[in-house]
Chain A
Amino acid sequence: EDQVTQSPEALRLQEGESSSLNCSYTVSGLRGLFWYRQDPGKGPEFLFTLYSAGEEKEKERLKATLTKKESFLHITAPKPEDSATYLCAVRGKAAGNKLTFGGGTRVLVKP
């Protein structure tokens, strides 16, 4: 059974204070690791897909990296508008089209 654990559960940052979110996963045959951003009361918004260890993707102040056991979402010089819950999900070989989500990390960036 695929499993995803995200840490920390919550993160409070000052504006400009860079940090990293962790997503640890156990999957039989990774078919993709996905990062989403979710604002309160809204659906998750797709950010990145990573497929193999060593891969990196960037978008504005966000950078996602992948190893064989975990993924990191680095937030560089965050702004208050980066405040959101960040979700990690994996698709394993045995799961077909299904995604397994982690519990998310709530990020609050204070000005």
Chain B
Amino acid sequence: DVKVTQSSRYLVKRTGEKVFLECVQDMDHENMFWYRQDPGLGLRLIYFSYDVKMKEKGDIPEGYSVSREKKERFSLILESASTNQTSMYLCASSAGYLNTEAFFGQGTRLTVV
């Protein structure tokens, strides 16, 4: 079974803090993704990576950065957390060849106060 594991289920952080969300996959997938999910807005792509040290902006990259130093790990960084970044964050991975499905982690519910 494909396993995508996010480091935390729930996080509460203060405004202005630097926040790290970690994601690890065990299927040797080339592609990894970070989405956020908000009521009424659906899933929106923040960043994705198709190889180690490679990254591309998604639809809403502002206020976020990412790091992929190892193939299995993809980190999302909130440089200075703000209340409008309160959301459900979802990590996903997929194999490198096109047309394959993406598998998701269990999600991290982040609250910024």
Comparing A61-69, A72-80, A91-99, the segment that makes contact with chain B is A91-99
Question: Scoring A residues 16 to 47 as 1 if CB is less than 8 Å from chain B, else 0, what string do you get?
Answer: 00000000000000011010100001111110
Cross-chain contact A97 with B94 (CB below 8 angstroms): yes
Nearest opposing residue in chain B for A99, CB measure: B102
Q: Which one of A46, A49, A51, A101 lies within 8 Å of B43 (CB-CB)?
A: A101
Docked Cα-Cα span, A89 to B42, in Å, equals 11
Question: Scoring B residues 50 to 77 as 1 if CB is less than 8 Å from chain A, else 0, what string do you get?
Answer: 1000000010000000000000000000
Q: Please give, as numbers and ranges, the residues of chain A lying within 8 Å of B99 by CB-CB distance.
A: 31-32, 49, 51, 91
B64 to chain A minimum Cβ distance, whole angstroms, is 16
Cross-chain contact B42 with A44 (CB below 8 angstroms): no
Q: Number of contacts between A and B (CB, 8 Å)?
A: 57
Query: Interface size bucket, A side?
Result: 20 to 34
Cross-chain contact B31 with A41 (CB below 8 angstroms): no
Q: Please give, as numbers and ranges, the residues of chain A lying within 8 Å of B105 by CB-CB distance.
A: 43
Interface centre among A45, A96, A98 (most CB of B within 10 A): A98
Docked Cα-Cα span, A86 to B99, in Å, equals 20
Q: Please give, as numbers and ranges, the residues of chain A lying within 8 Å of B94 by CB-CB distance.
A: 97
- Residues A46 and B103 in contact in the complex (CB < 8 Å), given A31-B98, A97-B98, A101-B42: yes
B 68-113 contacts with A by CB, 8 A: 90, 92, 94, 98-107, 109
Q: Would you call B45 an interface residue if the criterion is a C-beta within 8 Å of the partner chain's C-beta atoms?
A: yes
Docked Cα-Cα span, A55 to B94, in Å, equals 22
Nearest opposing residue in chain A for B4, CB measure: A43
Q: Which one of A45, A49, A51, A104 lies within 8 Å of B104 (CB-CB)?
A: A45
Interface centre among A96, A97, A99 (most CB of B within 10 A): A97
Q: Which residues of A contact B (CB under 8 A)?
A: 31-32, 34, 36, 41-46, 49, 51, 87, 89, 91, 96-99, 101-104
The 6 closest A-B pairs by CB, nearest first: A43-B104, A101-B43, A103-B42, A43-B107, A32-B99, A44-B104
